């Protein structure tokens, strides 16, 4: 397969334990009328797991290949990406600096960041743009001192990171063959767009008949679509492979309506869905990403947009730390 050969030429480090399991959700399947399977990317094996491990296999591969000694990334204080970046940096002997925004409290992912002795810096800023500027400032200072930092964008969503989800698409196809399955739909949450871009690209090249739906978790739709379009074009550029994906394809794959007032809002509807999945199948979704996406998927099924009898794969992208980050708010909703 040409695309796999091309991806394999990029430097990588192994951070996942191996292929993540695809598990049948028997109780929810019975109750919803679809055949639901869950790809447990929450069980990647690094820190608390999650989709960022796949991106970091490529991003950290690039950091090591270009002889960086420091990795700087950014996000909200609950950022799963920041924790995963810190954990992989520590494993590989690199120095992680996390540029975070929000309230500094030693709970959830921020506590986990500190437990692995990441250099955590929390700022009172509102936007990702401000965090980017801070990262660039820190990198410039370090360079003056002779250090070699690499700045990883929020969410690890650049074309190199997105390769991790093209590889995940290939892994899903391999598992379909092993398990005798043929998914009609693959569903994932989408926020900074790297997971979405990788999955759309991968399935478009490898198995176009599978419908990929990416459920927004409250970021502005236009910005997400713009980010995914740019990523798809940039991936095409670095791989030298063209796809038929265009703005319309991305628009129809991007599902809105389940952001519940915006990114990072913690709402009762989603907590109910977390409890539903946990009480039926024994796994935990998170309140910021996978819980909102699961909520969206259940609604698409109930409206018949995903018809009964379909074979559906939900990609559980992790985020468990978010449950603990927001334990007070969630606790008050029980
Ligand atoms: C648990 C979890 N799920 C999904 C996402 C969304 O992935 P992406 O940023 O690649 O769109 C993130 C990103 O932060 C995440 O932490």
Tens digits of per-residue pLDDT, 149-189? Answer: 999 999 999 999 999 999 999 999 999 999 999 999 999 99
Token output for 84: 């995963």
What confidence score (pLDDT) does residue 171 get? Answer: 98
**Distance between CA atoms of residues 46 and 147, nearest Å:** 26
What confidence score (pLDDT) does residue 86 get? Answer: 98
- Per the structure, the complete domain to which residue 16 belongs is given by 2-51+158-333
Token output for 13: 């480090």
- Which residues of the chain carry a pLDDT beneath 50? none
Q: How many domains does the chain have?
A: 2
Task: Give me the CATH number covering residue 110.
Answer: 3.40.50.1100
CB 116 within 8 A of CB 86: yes
Sign of CA dihedral 84, 269, 258, 299: positive
| Residues contacting residue 261 through CB under 8 Å, at least 6 positions apart | 218, 267
What confidence score (pLDDT) does residue 27 get? Answer: 98
155 ligand 1 Cβ < 6 A: yes
**Distance between CA atoms of residues 134 and 178, nearest Å:** 47
196 ligand 1 Cβ < 6 A: yes
Same domain, 99 and 145: yes
Same domain, 134 and 59: yes
What confidence score (pLDDT) does residue 213 get? Answer: 98
* Residues designated catalytic: 79
Report the separation in Å between the CA atom of 189 and the middle of ligand 1, taken as the mean of its atom positions: 7
Return the best residue to mutate from 53, 77, 189 for the ligand 1 pocket (most ligand atoms within 8 A of CB): 189
| H or E, element range at 149 | strand 149-152
Instruction: Return the DSSP state at 153.
Output: P
What confidence score (pLDDT) does residue 8 get? Answer: 96
| Residues contacting residue 277 through CB under 8 Å, at least 6 positions apart | 25, 28, 283, 284, 285, 294
189-210: pLDDT as tens digits: 999 999 999 999 999 999 999 9
What confidence score (pLDDT) does residue 22 get? Answer: 98
Same domain, 238 and 125: no
Same domain, 68 and 151: yes
Same domain, 301 and 182: yes
Residue that is written with structure tokens 């399977």 in the block: 37
User: For 18, how many CA atoms within 13 A lie in the half-sphere containing its CB?
Assistant: 4
Main-chain phi, psi angles of 22, to 5 degrees? -105, 120
């Amino acid at each position: 397969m040409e695309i796999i050969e091309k991806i394999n030429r990029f430097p990588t480090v192994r951070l996942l334990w191996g292929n993540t399991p695809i598990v049948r959700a028997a109780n929810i399947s019975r109750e919803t009328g679809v055949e639901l399977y869950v790809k447990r990317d929450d069980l990647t094996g690094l820190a608390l797991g999650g989709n960022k491990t796949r991106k970091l296999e490529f991003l950290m591969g690039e950091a090591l290949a270009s002889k960086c000694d420091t990795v700087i990334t950014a996000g909200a204080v609950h950022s799963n990406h920041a924790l995963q970046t810190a954990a992989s940096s520590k494993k590989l002997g690199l120095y992680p600096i996390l540029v975070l925004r929000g309230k500094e409290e030693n709970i959830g992912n921020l506590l986990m960041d500190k437990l692995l002795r990441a250099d955590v810096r929390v700022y009172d800023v509102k936007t990702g743009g401000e965090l980017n500027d801070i990262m660039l400032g820190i990198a410039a200072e370090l360079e003056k001192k002779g250090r070699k930092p690499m700045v990883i964008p929020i969410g690890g969503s650049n074309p190199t990171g997105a390769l991790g989800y093209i590889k995940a698409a290939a892994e899903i196809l391999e598992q379909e063959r092993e398990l005798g399955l043929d998914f009609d739909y693959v569903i994932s949450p989408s926020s900074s767009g790297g997971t979405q871009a990788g999955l759309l690209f991968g399935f478009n090249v490898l198995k176009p008949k599978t419908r990929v739906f990416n459920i927004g978790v409250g970021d502005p739709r236009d910005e997400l679509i713009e980010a995914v379009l740019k990523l798809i074009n940039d991936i095409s550029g670095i791989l030298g492979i063209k796809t038929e994906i265009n703005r319309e394809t991305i628009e129809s794959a991007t599902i809105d309506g389940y952001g519940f007032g915006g990114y990072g809002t913690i709402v009762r509807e989603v907590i109910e869905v977390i409890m539903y999945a946990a009480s039926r199948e024994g796994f935990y979704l998170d309140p910021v990403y996978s819980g909102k996406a699961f909520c969206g998927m259940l609604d698409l099924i109930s409206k018949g947009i995903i018809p009964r009898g379909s074979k559906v794969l939900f990609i559980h992208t992790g985020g468990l730390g978010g449950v603990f980050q927001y334990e007070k708010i969630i606790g008050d909703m029980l």
